[in-house]
Structure formats: C-alpha cells, structure tokens
C-alpha cells in the first residue's frame, strides 16, 4: 500500500510544472511543503490539485476524515482503532463506502509527488522474521507522479485526502508481493479528465483502469532505515539504491 511518498520539489518548481498557483488559505503561499520521505502515518500536509478548485495547488492533510470532523483534531481522531478513513482507499469500493461514495463525484484530487515507496517481502528469515526491503518507485523521465485520490472538506475548513489503490499490475505484484496492490497514478494527459466535473461512474472507472503503465516507471531497493521508528528518515539520500542479496526478483523495468 502507498503509505510513504517523496515530494522534494520547491513550490516554484511545482507551480511551473503544473502551471498552477500555490495557495495557502486565501493568500498566495510562501510555505514550502517538502518531504524527502513523507510518512503517511504522521499525516503530513501535502500539495494537491482539487476538483473544486483545479486552478490552484492547495494544502491537504494525508488521511481522509469524515466531513463532520475537524481536521485540526486529526491526531485524536486517528488514535481510535475503529476510525473510518485513512491513508489509502480501495478504488473498488469508491461507490459504496460511506465516506467515499459522497466524494467520488465532486471531490477527486491529484497529489503530485516525486515517487513513493512499497515494501517487498524477500521470504528470507532474519532473526525469525521475514526480511522486508523497501523499494522506491518513480517515473523514468523524472516528471511528477500524480496519485489519484479523493478528499473531504472538514467542518473546520480544512481538507483531508486519501490515495486510491487498485489490484497490482505485474511490476507491483512482484515487488509489493504481500498485499499485491498499487496506487492509481493518473498520466499527465489525463489530468483534466480526472478532475472533470462531467464524469459519471463509467468515466471514472475507465480512468482508474487506464492509469500509468508499468513501463513508464522504474524502481529499486533502498535503505531499510525507511522502517526505523528511532531515526529521522526525512533525508535526501533515503532513495539511494541499496543492493540486498536476499532480493531475488527481477525489477529491471
């Protein structure tokens, strides 16, 4: 599942690439939202392109909450193990889940990122446990990846989002070999289509199905520091390639 991402571009660069203006509240933003490693469990605020205001880059907290909740109370909200919503949402449930079914039509979004991390289980035992290795995914041409999501406008005027996922394609099935899922990634040429207010269910399903092909991506294993709870993993070299003898799959896309 997509719980860890990277967005290291300065706001000005993102504005240039997307041809959008970054806004924070009602003012042009001077805030930089840069993450060499954005850990979803920390619920970071990230730039997004929202269907209701597609002419701007807007800040949104990762981890969807019902619209009757206050975004500022996110820490308390996500402490509850029975909490509804979260970092990822299965696209197969988009039209049925009690939160998602109210968001798919008018509150779709895109989260522009450099890349993201997925876990790989080598099936090799180390100290009695499976040895797991994180892999970093990015576009071969280094352009941003646009993660498809949905969002809510919360009771206190904030926004929260979740990343849509789908059944794994071959590259993801070989790497993310336990859950066998992948995030939905909207190709650049389909950005306007994904955000279009004219979409019906059939249109949305087609866009979810026809997302970015495996061949547009590259991936490699990175440091297991990514899993550390005792160190700051938000550092530039977190995506540096690390080879592990335990990894036996072919990931040479």
What is the reported pTM? 0.95
Residue 25 confidence (pLDDT) = 75
Question: What residues contact residue 76 under an 8 Å CB cut-off, 6+ apart?
Answer: none
**Which are the contacts of 16, defined by CB distance < 8 A and separation ≥ 6?**
none
Whether 28 has a pLDDT exceeding 80, the answer reads: no
Distance CA 185, CA 31 (A): 26
Residues 219-227, mean pLDDT to the nearest whole number: 97
- Work out whether the CA dihedral 239, 242, 246, 249 comes out positive or negative: positive
Pick the range with the lowest mean pLDDT from 3-12, 20-29, 205-214, 221-230: 20-29
Give pLDDT tens digits for 82-100: 777 799 999 999 999 888 8
Domains of the chain, first to last: 4-239 (3.90.1680.10)
| Cβ contact 197:224 at 8 Å | no
- The answer to which of 18-27, 84-93, 120-129, 227-236 has the lowest mean pLDDT is 18-27
The tens digit of pLDDT for each residue in 112-155 reads 999 999 999 999 998 999 999 999 999 999 999 999 999 999 99
- List all residues 6 or more positions away from 25 whose beta carbon is below 8 Å from its beta carbon: none
> What does residue 142 show for φ and ψ, rounded to 5 degrees?
65, 10
């Amino acid at each position: 599942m997509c719980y860890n991402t990277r967005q290291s571009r300065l706001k000005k660069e993102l504005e240039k690439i997307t041809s959008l203006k970054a806004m924070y509240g009602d003012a042009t933003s001077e805030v930089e939202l840069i993450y060499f490693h954005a850990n979803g469990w920390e619920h970071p605020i990230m730039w997004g392109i929202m269907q209701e205001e597609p002419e701007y880059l807007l800040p949104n907290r990762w981890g969807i909450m019902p619209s009757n909740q206050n975004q500022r109370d996110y820490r308390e909200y996500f402490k509850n193990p029975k909490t509804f919503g979260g970092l990822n949402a299965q696209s197969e449930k988009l039209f049925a889940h009690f939160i998602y079914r109210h968001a798919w039509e008018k509150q779709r979004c895109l989260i522009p990122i450099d890349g993201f991390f997925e876990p790989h289980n080598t099936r090799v035992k180390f100290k009695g446990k499976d040895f797991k290795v994180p892999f970093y995914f990015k576009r071969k041409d280094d352009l941003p990846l646009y993660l498809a999501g949905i969002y809510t406008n919360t009771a206190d005027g904030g926004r929260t989002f979740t990343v849509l996922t789908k059944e794994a394609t071959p590259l993801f099935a070989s790497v993310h070999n336990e859950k066998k899922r992948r995030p939905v990634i909207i190709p650049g040429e389909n950005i306007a289509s994904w955000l279009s207010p004219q979409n019906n269910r059939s249109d949305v399903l087609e866009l979810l199905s026809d997302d970015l092909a495996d061949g547009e991506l590259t991936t490699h294993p990175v440091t297991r520091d990514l899993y550390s709870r005792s160190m700051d993993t938000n550092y530039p070299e977190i995506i540096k390639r690390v080879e592990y003898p335990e990894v036996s799959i072919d990931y040479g896309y």
